[in-house]
Amino acid sequence: AQKITQTQPGMFVQEKEAVTLDCTYDTSDPSYGLFWYKQPSSGEMIFLIYQGSYDQQNATEGRYSLNFQKARKSANLVISASQLGDSAMYFCAMREGGSARQLTFGSGTQLTVLP
């Protein structure tokens, strides 16, 4: 079974609008972390936001917020006021257990911001 599922291969959003990128996960470990990374066409992986399994509040970082619904095992990324520079591939990832563990990535969502 897939541990991280991103069901939207591609998304389009109008500039200045908000967009939600979906992510669901599967784990039996009570301690885990959820991450979102942005990968522009140049290839580098840019860390956006983190949500811990024990965090009571949804994480926010500037225009990025994470809609964490633990019971549903979902961790959707919300980008507010989209900008043309937000066009990129977005990956949801999970780290289970201890901190020195690898990340498991979803299949990604290609976001295109339209002018």
1 scored as a contact of other proteins (CB under 8 A): no
Pick the binder of other proteins from 75, 91, 94, 111 (CB under 8 A). Answer: 91
99 scored as a contact of other proteins (CB under 8 A): yes
Task: Please name every residue paired with 90 in a beta bridge, in sequence order, or none if there are none.
Answer: 38, 109
Shortest reach from residue 19's CB to other proteins, in Å: 20
64 scored as a contact of other proteins (CB under 8 A): no
Q: Which residues bind other proteins (CB under 8 A)?
A: 31, 33, 35, 37, 42-45, 47, 50, 52, 91, 95, 98-108, 110
